[in-house]
């Protein structure tokens, strides 16, 4: 039985000579790898006493496997979750100007590190420094790979291996892999926790500051909220205390709002306000509320930022030309805060009003009802969040299309397997579709996915 099965497995040569494989437009190494993979599987199956299919069936399987190797792994998805800064979906989409800048930087050569006036070596910092200094009011700026890297470098340089005093309520974990205590350990500073989980007073800091203290650290609680019996020390009080002891204050704000003028930001302080309040250094992400590429932005006093820029680790954490191009273009959009709300996709999505979403939802629901008789989508008010560790205390009013279905999880899975995949939310047994982060020209694809999913997962 087993010998029989093994004998029926075709040779590599014979398989490669079959029609689907001879004319297959896949590079030879991939084609051969696909053959090897399928033959391995067949041998395993034959040894277990399983059937070996006929040659054409095997050839088709190899062709499919070879083609799938060429399919891109990173693909566009439609974000119908309503969460603008979805870390798993790549956080912030770029503004058209930023996309154009990336393409240009990627395609050819640039003055990345060349001073065009003198013809001598320039600094890659020059392209972003002026913008960041202007927009935050800080003396100097430095951009690194992401905010985790920014915090690491800042702790390394400002802490100098001594103690960092931080409130117990701020030892946050973000996205499972950024744990403040771990980063602190790696950066060589010793963690000194003060206060309790829910309350930290200025006196708690005062008691902890001593000859071994290197800096005071304050971390924005970016992905959770604390309510009830809570006490916290404002930035200006903390900075006054740090200053009186000759210590620097490092603020990790994460989300990095450049202008908090819009009500959706709920009074969240801007980076400029935190710099004014006396922080020595502020760090934040480039791809949260700034709406740019992944980056970690460090702004603050010249002595600290320059020390970070010349630290050997700065080279290991530096950003590439495409990030610089995208970030420069994004910062230009922020030059006028009102314009930024229009031009920066994340800001536009966060500030879009439920009223302006409603007509689009009604049209989508109408088209869906027409395409799938029996389905009864309803338009309802909901709340959403910014996501990505931003604005945790500010639920955002939205309006969604809710689809009642006995198996919403299967519906959600089916939408995810569509091309392009569609991501939606499930809430209280209903599938929710939010158009806040869906471009108008994606609506037809979204409808197609919904129709296909509802037909595939018939109740």
Ligand X SMILES: *Cc1c(COP(=O)(O)O)cnc(C)c1O
- As a whole number of angstroms, the distance between CA 454 and CA 411 comes to 7
> Least distance to ligand X from the beta carbon of 291, Å?
13
Region near ligand X per CB under 6 A, out of 128-136, 216-224, 366-374, 398-406: 216-224
The total number of residues written for the chain in this structure: 459
Q: State yes or no: residue 187 binds ligand X (CB under 6 A).
A: no
Which residue has tokens 């970016």? 222
Q: In what order do the strands lie in the sheet with 296-300?
A: 140-144, 296-300, 281-285, 249-254, 213-219, 163-167, 190-194
Which of 146, 187, 213, 398: binder of ligand X (CB under 6 A)? 146
Give least dist CB 246 to ligand X, A: 26
Binding residues among 288-327 for ligand X as defined by CB under 6 A = 296
Q: Does 220 bind ligand X (CB under 6 A)?
A: yes
Smaller CB separation from ligand X, 93 or 296: 296
Q: Build a one-symbol-per-residue string for 72-111: x at contacts with ligand X by CB under 6 A, - elsewhere.
A: ----------------------------------------
427 contacts: CB under 8 Å, gap ≥ 6:
382, 402
DSSP 3-state assignment of 12? Answer: helix
Among 93, 254, 260, 377, binds ligand X (CB under 6 A): 254
Q: For ligand X, which residue of 163, 204, 232, 252 counts as binding (CB under 6 A)?
A: 252
Name which position in 5, 291, 293, 389 contacts ligand X (CB under 6 A): 389
Identify the CA nearest to 459 among candidates 423, 417, 416, 429: 429
Q: Alpha-carbon distance 129 to 134, whole Å?
A: 9
Q: Give the end-to-end CA distance of the chain in Å, rounded to a whole number.
A: 43
Q: Are 427 and 435 in contact (CB under 8 A)?
A: no
Task: Candidates 219, 242, 274, 357: give the one binding ligand X (CB under 6 A).
Answer: 219
User: Residue 121: beta bridge partners?
Assistant: 114
Of 209 and 217, CB closest to ligand X: 217
Q: At what angle do helices 354-371 and 443-456 cross, to 10 degrees?
A: 50
Rank residues 319 and 340 by Cβ distance to ligand X and give the closer one.
Answer: 319
Contact flag: residue 285 with ligand X (CB under 6 A): yes
Indicate whether 147 belongs to the interface with ligand X (CB under 6 A). yes
Residue 148 interacts with ligand X (CB under 6 A): yes or no: yes
Alpha helices in 48-198 (DSSP H): 55-70, 96-107, 126-136, 147-159, 180-186
Question: Contact with ligand X (CB under 6 A): which of 101, 174, 357, 452?
Answer: 174
- Give every CB contact of residue 232 below 8 A, 6+ residues apart in sequence: 167, 169, 199, 200
Nearest-CB residue for ligand X: 254
Contact 273, 260 (CB under 8 A): yes
With CB under 6 A as the contact rule, the residue among 141, 154, 158, 178 that binds ligand X is: 178
Number of residues that bind ligand X (CB under 6 A): 15
Residues that bind ligand X (CB under 6 A): 146-148, 151, 174, 178, 219-220, 222, 252, 254-255, 285, 296, 389
């Amino acid at each position: 039985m087993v010998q029989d099965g093994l004998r029926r497995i075709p040779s590599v040569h014979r398989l490669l000579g079959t029609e689907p494989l001879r004319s297959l437009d896949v590079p030879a190494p991939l084609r051969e790898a696909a053959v090897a993979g399928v033959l391995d599987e067949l041998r395993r199956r034959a040894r277990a006493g399983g059937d070996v299919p006929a040659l054409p069936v095997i050839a088709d399987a190899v062709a499919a496997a070879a083609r799938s190797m060429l399919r891109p792994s990173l693909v566009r998805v439609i974000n119908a979750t309503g969460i603008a800064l979805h870390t798993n979906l790549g956080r912030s989409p770029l503004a058209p100007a930023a996309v154009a800048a990336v393409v240009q930087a990627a395609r050819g050569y640039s003055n990345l590190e060349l001073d065009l006036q003198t013809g001598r070596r320039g600094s890659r910092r020059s392209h972003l420094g002026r913008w960041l200094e202007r927009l935050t009011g800080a003396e100097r700026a430095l951009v690194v790979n992401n905010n985790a890297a920014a915090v690491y470098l800042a702790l390394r340089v400002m802490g100098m291996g001594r103690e960092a005093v931080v409130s117990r309520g701020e030892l946050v974990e973000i996205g499972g892999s950024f744990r403040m205590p771990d980063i602190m350990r790696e950066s060589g500073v010793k963690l000194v926790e003060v206060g309790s989980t829910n309350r930290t007073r200025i006196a708690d800091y005062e008691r902890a500051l001593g000859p071994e203290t290197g800096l005071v650290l304050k971390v924005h609680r970016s992905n959770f909220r604390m309510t009830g019996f809570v006490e916290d020390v404002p930035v200006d009080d903390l900075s006054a205390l740090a200053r009186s002891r000759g210590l620097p204050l490092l603020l990790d704000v994460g989300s990095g709002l450049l202008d908090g003028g819009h009500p959706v930001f709920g009074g969240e302080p801007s980076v400029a306000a935190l710099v004014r309040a006396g922080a020595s250094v502020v760090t934040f992400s480039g791809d949260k509320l700034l709406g740019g590429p992944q980056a970690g932005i460090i702004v603050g006093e010249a002595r600290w930022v320059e020390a970070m820029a010349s630290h050997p680790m700065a080279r290991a954490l530096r950003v590439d030309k495409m990030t610089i191009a995208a970030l420069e273009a994004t910062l230009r959009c922020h030059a006028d805060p009102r314009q930024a709300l229009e031009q920066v996709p994340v800001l536009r999505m966060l500030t879009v009003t439920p009223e302006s979403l409603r007509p689009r939802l009604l049209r989508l629901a109408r088209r869906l009802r027409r395409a799938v008789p029996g389905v009864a989508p309803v338009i309802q008010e909901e709340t959403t969040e910014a996501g990505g560790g931003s604005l945790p205390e500010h639920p955002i009013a939205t309006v969604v299309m809710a689809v009642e279905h006995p198996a919403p999880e299967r519906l959600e899975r089916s939408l995810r397997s569509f091309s392009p995949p569609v991501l939606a939310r499930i809430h209280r047994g209903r599938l929710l579709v939010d158009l806040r982060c869906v471009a108008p020209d994606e609506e037809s694809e979204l409808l197609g996915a919904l129709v296909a999913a509802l037909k595939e997962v018939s109740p």
